Amino acid sequence: MKTKLLWWCLWLSLLLGCGGVEHRRRTFPVEAGSQPITGTNDFGWSVNVATAKVRVEAVRFYTGKVLITREWRFDPYVLIGGSAWAHPGHYVAGEALGELLTPVDVDLLAPAPVELGVAQAVTGDYGSLELTVTGAQVTGTATKGAQTVTFDSTAYSPEKALEGVKFEKVLRDEEGRVHLDVKLSTWLARIDFATPFTANGEAYNGFVRGIQDTSAYEVSWK
């Protein structure tokens, strides 16, 4: 049903112009990669990633801009040097502009970006995207002082799509592609590797929060 509604809006945009803006049909490639980890995470661990993978199920593009706010929920960890994390605030997706619905397994450590496919879209003022991912998993080692541990995050699939990923671009007929970078440092920032990865445990919950943080995804036009 969601896909039918999206394409109805796309066709309506082409015929009538949503919000008084005339749209023209176009396509563009979408690719994904990752940014390397630098420094230590919020618990002081230096992380060496051995494998990092995720399945991208769908990418949907919208006009809605992302308003970044601070997370006001009290977190005792902030008192000992943790970060107050940025999150989208008052986000409204707005008009649908395009979608890519081809599931692709992505090796985030691949030497070159992984092609996700070609988005069916229209020209317009892009503001954000919605990312549907499953099976996110990272393995490696983490070191803090004289302590080194081997970890396996186990796979995690968000229950719903990640809404409000920032992507601001006035897209007309120019050639190019959308590039999605996963910030592995954000995925792993909230994890105290001294605790084991058990179901609903502290380490696993930190990993879940990292994946759900939309600032972990940097989108650009190349």
CA–centroid distance for 70 within its chain: 18
Neighbours of 36 (CB within 10 A): 9
| Helix/strand/coil percentages in the chain, nearest 5 | 20, 45, 35
Residues 6+ positions from 55 with CB-CB distance below 8 Å: 103, 104, 105, 106, 133, 134, 135
Token pair recorded at residue 14: 């082409």
Q: How do strand 114-122 and strand 25-35 relate by DSSP bridges? A: antiparallel
Quick one: 123 exposed, middle or buried, by C-beta within 10 A (0-12, 13-18, 19+)?
buried
Look at residue 68 in the predicted model and tell me its pLDDT.
67
Domain boundaries, the chain: 2-221
- pLDDT tens digits in sequence order for the chain, 222 residues long: 555 555 555 555 544 444 445 689 999 999 999 998 989 999 999 999 999 999 999 999 999 999 865 443 444 444 444 444 445 557 899 999 999 999 999 999 999 999 999 999 999 999 999 999 999 999 999 999 999 999 999 999 999 999 999 999 999 999 999 999 999 999 999 999 999 999 889 999 999 999 999 999 999 999
Strand 25-35, strand 178-183: pairing: parallel
Residue 212 vs residues 1, 21, 79, 157, 175: alpha-carbon distances, Å: 24, 33, 23, 10, 31
> What is the three-class DSSP state of 205?
helix
Residue 221 has, within 13 A of its CA and on its CB side, a CA count of: 16
**Residue 149, SS3?**
strand
Which H helix or E strand runs over 187? helix 184-188
